[in-house]
């Protein structure tokens, strides 16, 4: 009962945050102007955005397969891509629920251990955070954002750039060291947790072991580092392309001179909204996306929010139309298999 109440409270908090961010983002916006801007997109470019969204699933699935390879080399890109589509579709309804469902999907289709898959997801989240830092370093250090950005952050560009670069290097070095010296690190952590965490040592140790277990691919495959870097670069480039396609499809590249660099800036800033635990990033994504376009590139707020809404909606509709039916089909197939083989 306590667990159910906790889940209800977490979901209620998520919905509350979503409502707050939606109100914050769209307060005072003329709905007619918003709708006109959204419906003005070229259908061809809208289709391109959907196809590119499918491409991001394939690229993310490739990176995920690298992490799964030591214990699940039989998982192919199609299975992983469909599992990710299910994940993102579920997250639109219930935040973070998709992480469990994508593991269940691969359990149904490839009989892969859910606990082992969860370890790779922990590593994936760390990798996403690392690449987000890299993106901000690009924005800050290469100075592709407008000077207004420095007014917003209120500090020196070079200082931010050096701090971001140092953070990237530290994070990357830590991942490499942990993957290489995992046993020694665990041996050193166990006695420390036993003495100093007052009953929470076992739980914390389990979390750490899960994370380190997810790094086994890096230890066993020298090429894994290269594949993860290439797939991550291509993945983030695809996200930038989707936003740039929205600019072109809505004619914003001509009216406001929004180029690929602007798409990179908006993508990096709006990615923070996806981290906030609202259903599918609704509200938080729109707010940061719209404010970035409006404050940094002087795009009218209604137009900026129309672009944010289109980009977010097309991506999530792609996930739902692919992931929803796939989840139902896999569930029915799994149920049928369990009835045919009750000892499985």
List, as one string, the DSSP characters of 82-118.
Answer: HHHHHHHHHHHHSTTHHHHHHHHHHHHHH---HHHHH
The pLDDT confidence band at residue 43, using thresholds 50, 70 and 90, is very high
For the segment 98-121, the average pLDDT, to the nearest whole number, is: 89
Please give the mean pLDDT across all residues of the chain. 82
Distance (Å, rounded) from C-alpha 295 to C-alpha 297?
6
C-alpha of 324 from chain center: 19
Which residue has better confidence, 263 or 133? 263
134 located within any domain: yes
The answer to which of 84-88, 122-126, 294-298 has the lowest mean pLDDT is: 122-126
Closest by CA to 84, choosing from 103, 109, 111, 67, is 103
Flag whether 194 is in a domain.
Answer: yes
Domains of the chain: total: 1
Q: For residue 169, what pLDDT is reported?
A: 65
- pLDDT at position 123: 81
pLDDT in tens, 293-334: 998 899 999 999 999 999 999 999 999 999 999 999 999 988
Summarised one tens digit per residue, pLDDT across range 225-263 is: 889 989 999 999 999 999 999 999 999 999 999 999 899
In this structure, is residue 174 part of a structural domain? yes
Contacts of 88 (CB under 8 A, 6+ apart): 98, 280, 316, 319, 323
Let me know: does 38 contact 73? Beta carbons within 8 Å: no
pLDDT value at position 162? Answer: 61
The answer as to whether 18 is a domain residue is: no
103, pLDDT greater than 70: yes
- Percentage of residues in the chain having pLDDT higher than 90: 48
Q: Look at 10 and 251; give whichever has higher pLDDT.
A: 251
Residue 50 reports pLDDT greater than 60: yes
In a domain, 304, yes or no: yes
pLDDT value of residue 270 = 94
* Residue 195 counted as domain residue: yes
Name the phi and psi angles at 300, rounded to 5.
Answer: -50, 140
Kindly state whether residue 14 falls inside one of the protein's structural domains.
Answer: no
Is the pLDDT reported for residue 341 higher than 80? no
pTM: 0.84
- In terms of residue numbers, what domain contains 100? 30-333
Q: How many CA atoms lie within 13 Å of 258's alpha carbon, on the beta-carbon side? A: 31
Of 152-161, 271-280, 326-335, which range is least confident? 152-161
Whether the pLDDT of residue 145 is over 50: the answer is: no
Q: At what angle do helices 182-196 and 201-214 cross, to 10 degrees?
A: 170
Contacts of 256 (CB under 8 A, 6+ apart): 297, 298, 299
- Give 57's contacts (C-beta < 8 A, 6+ positions apart): 81, 84, 85, 322
In a domain, 23, yes or no: no
Greatest alpha-carbon pair distance for the chain in Å reads 66
């Amino acid at each position: 009962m306590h667990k159910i109440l906790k889940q209800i409270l977490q979901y209620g908090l998520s919905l509350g945050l979503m409502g707050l961010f939606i109100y914050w983002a769209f307060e005072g916006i003329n709905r007619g102007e918003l709708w006109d801007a959204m419906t003005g997109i070229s259908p061809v470019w809208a289709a391109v955005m959907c196809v590119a969204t499918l491409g991001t699933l394939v690229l993310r699935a490739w990176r995920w397969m690298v992490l799964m390879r030591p214990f699940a080399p039989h998982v192919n890109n199609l299975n992983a891509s469909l599992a990710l589509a299910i994940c993102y579709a579920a997250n639109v309804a219930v935040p973070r629920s998709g992480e469990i469902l994508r593991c269940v999907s691969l359990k149904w289709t490839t009989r892969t251990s859910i606990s082992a898959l969860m370890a790779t997801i922990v590593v994936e989240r760390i990798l996403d955070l690392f690449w987000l830092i890299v993106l901000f370093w690009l924005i800050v250090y290469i100075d592709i954002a407008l000077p207004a950005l420095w007014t917003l952050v209120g500090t020196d560009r070079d200082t931010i750039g050096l701090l971001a670069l140092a953070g990237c290097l530290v994070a990357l070095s830590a991942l490499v060291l942990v993957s290489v010296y995992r046993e020694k690190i665990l041996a050193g952590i166990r006695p420390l947790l036993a003495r100093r965490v007052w009953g929470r040592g076992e739980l914390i140790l389990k979390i750490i072991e899960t994370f380190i277990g997810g790094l086994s691919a890096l230890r066993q495959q020298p090429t894994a580092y290269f594949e993860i870097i290439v797939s991550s670069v291509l993945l983030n480039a695809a996200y930038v392309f989707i936003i740039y396609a929205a600019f072109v499809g809505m004619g914003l590249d001509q009216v406001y001179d929004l180029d690929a660099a602007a798409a990179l800036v908006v993508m990096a800033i709006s990615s923070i909204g996806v981290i906030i635990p609202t259903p599918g990033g609704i509200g938080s994504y729109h707010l940061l996306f719209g404010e970035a376009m409006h404050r940094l590139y002087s795009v009218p707020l209604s137009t900026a929010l129309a672009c944010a809404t289109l980009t977010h909606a097309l991506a999530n509709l792609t996930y739902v139309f692919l992931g929803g039916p796939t989840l139902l089909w896999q569930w029915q197939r799994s149920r049928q298999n369990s009835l045919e083989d009750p000892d499985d």
